[in-house]
Structure 1
Amino acid sequence: MLKSEPFEVTLANKQSIILPEAIAHLFLKNDHKRVKVVVTFKEQSINYHGALIPKKNGLCVMYFSNEKQKALGIFMNDYFEMQLFEDQSKYGVDMPEELDAVLMSDHEAYTIFEALTPGRQRSIIYTIKRYKSTQTRVDKAILLTENLKRGITDPKLWLKQF
């Protein structure tokens, strides 16, 4: 499995980090645009999935949300440690158990889901992951898959009842 050595970074702006060229190149040359990330600051750490975003000027950036910054207590001008790992997950993000169970129990919904673009699949996964309650995740996954089967492709309508 491809992984970087831990490296030190700081925020480039409110929600992004400029990655060291050698590290970004290591992953991009091996066609890994999605990575698993471990960020450590003051003995606290978080793990998440991220995307490497090459820019025209040769730089490579990665988004780092305000939510993640707040969880670690990171502010502008703080330096923190980051390490990247090859993302070996099927969808580029961890699949919630509830959505996986609903898709496994509904072949038609699973087939539609698998035919979607990887970005659209991740959007659906994130839509379900944002709910904390297991029961809410199940309910929303069922509603979302029923809407997919109805042909609803607009993310704004995925969780609407018709």
Structure 2
Amino acid sequence: MVVPDEVATIFVKGRRPARMRCTLNGSIAFQCAIRPRGGGGFYINVGATLRQQGKLVLGQKLSAMVWKDDSEFGRDVPVELQELFEIDPEGKALFDALLPSHQRGIIQYVADARSEQVRIDRAVKMINRLAGRSFG
């Protein structure tokens, strides 16, 4: 989705993407980034899942509301991962040492699980991988 320069420049400083929250057509809410395009201008990536959810088609005009995402990691951290951080400070320290994009990747991987147990399993799996611990 193309973002007008007058909107993007409020949030984007230089060439670094700005973490945002967005609502499309008043109903589809998600976390995203306003990113600079190579040839000038700015965009927000609207992935296939969001396009299907909103029945969006290429070239369709959208109404969008964007605001700065003030969350610590640019994504909502699943409760299961937060609780693991509380009981495993070493794992939390390893997570904190990662690049922000890698942190968001782990958060998304855990959050995308549909059931609580799978979110727990994924959180433990990722922290164990960071720590180099053996697991089943």
Which TM-score applies when normalising by structure 1?
Answer: 0.77
* Aligned: 1:22 with 2:3: no
TM-superposed deviation, 1:69: 0.8
Q: Which moved more, 1:55-64 or 1:84-93?
A: 55-64
TM-superposed deviation, 1:79: 1.6
**Offset from partner CA, 1:72-92 (integer Å, 9 cap, x none):** 111123222111101100000
* Aligned: 1:129 with 2:94: no
* Aligned: 1:39 with 2:21: no
TM-superposed deviation, 1:66: 1.0
Structure 2: unaligned runs, 5 residues or longer: none
Q: Which moved more, 1:48-57 or 1:114-123?
A: 48-57
SS of the residue 2:21 aligns to: strand
TM-superposed deviation, 1:32: 6.8
Give the AA of the match of 1:98: E
TM-superposed deviation, 1:115: 0.8
Equivalent position of 1:109 in the other structure: 91
Equivalent position of 1:13 in the other structure: none
**Offset from partner CA, 1:122-152 (integer Å, 9 cap, x none):** 011011111010111011111211111117x
Identity of aligned residues (%): 24
SS of the residue 2:83 aligns to: helix
Equivalent position of 2:34 in the other structure: 52
For the Cα contact (< 8 Å) 2:17–2:36, is it kept in 1?
Answer: no
**Offset from partner CA, 1:34-71 (integer Å, 9 cap, x none):** 1111111xxx6121111111123221111000110110
For the Cα contact (< 8 Å) 1:32–1:87, is it kept in 2?
Answer: no
Show structure 1 runs of 4+ deviating over 6 A. Answer: none
Equivalent position of 1:66 in the other structure: 48
The structure richer in strand per residue is 1
Aligned length: 135
Which TM-score applies when normalising by structure 2?
Answer: 0.90
What is the root-mean-square deviation in Å for CA atoms of aligned residues? 2.0
Where in structure 2 are the equivalents of 1:76-87 lying within 5 Å?
Answer: 76-87=58-69
Give the AA of the match of 2:9: H
TM-superposed deviation, 1:161: 4.6
Give the AA of the match of 1:104: E
Structure 1 CA distance for aligned equivalents of residues 105 and 122 of structure 2: 14
Q: Relative contact order, CA 8 A, sep 6+: which one is greater? A: 1
Structure 2 CA distance for aligned equivalents of residues 103 and 39 of structure 1: 33
